[in-house]
Structure 1
Amino acid sequence: MNILSIQSHVAYGHVGNAAATFPIQRMGHDVWPIHTVQFSNHTGYGAWRGQVFDAGLIGDCVAGIAERGALARCDGVLSGYMGSADTGIAILDAVARVREAHAGALYCCDPVIGDVGRGVFVRPGIAEFMRDRALPAADVVTPNQFELELLCGQGTGTQAGLRAGLAALHAKGPRAVLVTSYLGDATPDDALDLVASDGSRAWRIRTPKLALSVNGAGDAIAALFFVTYLARRSVPDALSHAASAVFGLLSATLEAGTRELALVAAQDEFVRPSRVFTPEPL
């Protein structure tokens, strides 16, 4: 498959396209990355260098790909951190152009808005853009729990609240939803849940909570879930593979004692996870 991935990029470390591209390639698919920013490192370090690119760069790059006659071979578009509403509009224009060339192409939106403990960390207007423009255009959406609650407008700490929140997102358009990290009232203190839904059924995977905090894991899991869903059109299969592969990646990162994801050392996890987690129906 061929994936157009429009995200931020860093020279050092692994977030955005630097976290998503290699896992997709290691699974045997091609990636056409367009970078919305080029930074020296992710902003979690507190200092970085680089540039935020003008949103027009996205349209220019997509136009160039179209001139090669390649958009008809694009199977999916993946987007992450947008940075501004102008960038978001350019991404949705790219999605429309891909769908015009290939009606079967799908769009996965990772609605990067914020997280528990950090709150909203994007510019004003981005959350509303995600809710009102990006979600209706998306086939697949991969929020964390904080973003899920912000987008659906309600708490999801109970199973009833979670089901209602998933239903609210499906009602906006997406056919598949992955909640990349979930802590509900029934989640043990030493565990982390991942939840996915196809609109009619929902599944959960519970993994051990690892003692590390790194950037880019959400970018990697969104990419792994999306390409597996594209290949198999099965939400539980995509959930199982993404959760298992990222658990292997995070385990290798913990063992290495590094602040950056151990993508290269853990590359076999993207193809054959060493520990496979089986989804259970919710």
Structure 2
Amino acid sequence: MNILSIQSWVSYGHVGNAAAVFPMQRLGAEVWAVNTVQFSNHTGYGSWRGSVLPADLIREVVTGIEERGVLPRCDALLSGYLGDPAVAEAVLHAHDRLRAANPRAVYCADPVIGDDDTGVYVRPGIAELMRDRIVPAADILTPNLFELRQLTGLPCDTLAGVKDAVARLQARGPRRVLVTSLRTPETPDDHLDMLAAEGGEFVRLRAPLLPIAVNGAGDAIAALFLVHTLQGKSAADALSAAGSAIFGILRRTVELGQREIALIAAQDELVAPTVVLRPVSV
């Protein structure tokens, strides 16, 4: 597998490409990483140093990769946090170049917009661009519950409502959708759900709720879900493999008392999860 991953980069910690590249490599993928920012650490710390990289630079790097003649061998594009509308346009340009070179290539978009505890935290214009341009272009979409509401305008306050919203997204382009960090009235207080959908079928994965609040887990699970999809797994099996791995990593993170996800210390969870979580049809 060859995957073009266009995301942010931090030197300390694990978000964006720093959360996605290693898990994909650990599962056997070659990753061509293009960074959209170069920060010292993720912004959740409240202070950081570094810069958002110019969109023209992202285009130049992708063009350089194209000039190597390798895009026909690229199996997928993965994108995450897009710090500026111009960066989003650069990602869409990369998507167009990749599809021209390999029409079978898959685009997996993590439509980062915000979360329930923060609200929208991307720059003005990004949420609308995600809704109007990224969603129709994507084959796989991995929103959290807040982002699902933003992209569809639906309340998503029940499992049935979430399924309706996912179906609305799929009608606009993505064939496979993964909803992360899902809480509905049907979810027990001490658990957290994820939902995957494809072809009119829905499967839910339920995991024990861990006493942890970290950044980067969503970036990692989008990457894992993409790789397992490329390996030919069904939506249910890709959800089980990705969800079990991230649960094991987060559990190890709790044990270590870290603020950053324990990708390195718990890397064996990526290939052989200690606890295998099984999805059910809903």
| Interval of TM-score (by shorter of Structure 1 and Structure 2) | over 0.9
Alignment of 1:97-246 (within 5 A): 97-246=97-246
**One-letter amino acid matched to 2:26:** R
Aligned partner of 1:73 in structure 2 is 73
| Secondary structure in structure 1 of the residue aligned to 2:22 | helix
Q: Deviation of residue 92 (structure 1)?
A: 0.7
Structure 2: gaps of 5 or more residues: none
Q: CA RMSD, aligned part only?
A: 0.7
**One-letter amino acid matched to 2:223:** A
Alignment of 1:234-273 (within 5 A): 234-273=234-273
Aligned partners of 2:233, 2:139: CA distance in 1, in Å? 12
Aligned partner of 2:84 in structure 1 is 84
**One-letter amino acid matched to 2:141:** V
| Secondary structure in structure 2 of the residue aligned to 1:160 | helix
Q: Deviations over 1:9-57 (max 9, x none)?
A: 0000000000000000000111000000000000001010011100011
Q: Deviation of residue 246 (structure 1)?
A: 0.2
Aligned partner of 1:20 in structure 2 is 20
**One-letter amino acid matched to 1:123:** R
**One-letter amino acid matched to 2:89:** I
Aligned length: 282
Q: Deviation of residue 157 (structure 1)?
A: 1.9
In 2, are the aligned partners of 1:156 and 1:162 still within 8 Å (CA)? Answer: yes
**One-letter amino acid matched to 1:268:** D
In 2, are the aligned partners of 1:77 and 1:105 still within 8 Å (CA)? Answer: yes
In 2, are the aligned partners of 1:8 and 1:37 still within 8 Å (CA)? Answer: yes
Aligned partner of 1:95 in structure 2 is 95
Aligned partner of 1:51 in structure 2 is 51
In 2, are the aligned partners of 1:225 and 1:238 still within 8 Å (CA)? Answer: yes
Aligned partners of 1:67, 1:150: CA distance in 2, in Å? 37
In 2, are the aligned partners of 1:85 and 1:126 still within 8 Å (CA)? Answer: yes
Aligned partners of 1:117, 1:12: CA distance in 2, in Å? 24
Q: Does 1:277 align with 2:277?
A: yes
Aligned partners of 1:225, 1:152: CA distance in 2, in Å? 22
Q: Deviation of residue 199 (structure 1)?
A: 3.5
Aligned partners of 2:66, 2:208: CA distance in 1, in Å? 44
TM-score, normalised to structure 2's length? 0.99
**One-letter amino acid matched to 2:267:** Q
Aligned partner of 1:34 in structure 2 is 34
Aligned partners of 1:276, 1:233: CA distance in 2, in Å? 15
Aligned partners of 1:58, 1:100: CA distance in 2, in Å? 18
Q: Deviation of residue 163 (structure 1)?
A: 1.5
Q: Deviation of residue 233 (structure 1)?
A: 4.5
Q: Between the two proteins, what is the percent identity of the paired residues?
A: 59
Aligned partners of 1:246, 1:27: CA distance in 2, in Å? 13
| Secondary structure in structure 2 of the residue aligned to 1:143 | coil
**One-letter amino acid matched to 1:245:** A
Aligned partners of 1:150, 1:262: CA distance in 2, in Å? 30
| Secondary structure in structure 1 of the residue aligned to 2:231 | helix
Aligned partners of 1:266, 1:57: CA distance in 2, in Å? 34
TM-score, normalised to structure 1's length? 0.99
Aligned partners of 2:84, 2:6: CA distance in 1, in Å? 13
Q: Report which stretch shifted further, 224-233 or 258-267.
A: 224-233
- After TM superposition, which residue ranges in structure 1, 4 or more long, deviate above 3 angstroms? none
Aligned partner of 2:60 in structure 1 is 60
Aligned partner of 1:2 in structure 2 is 2
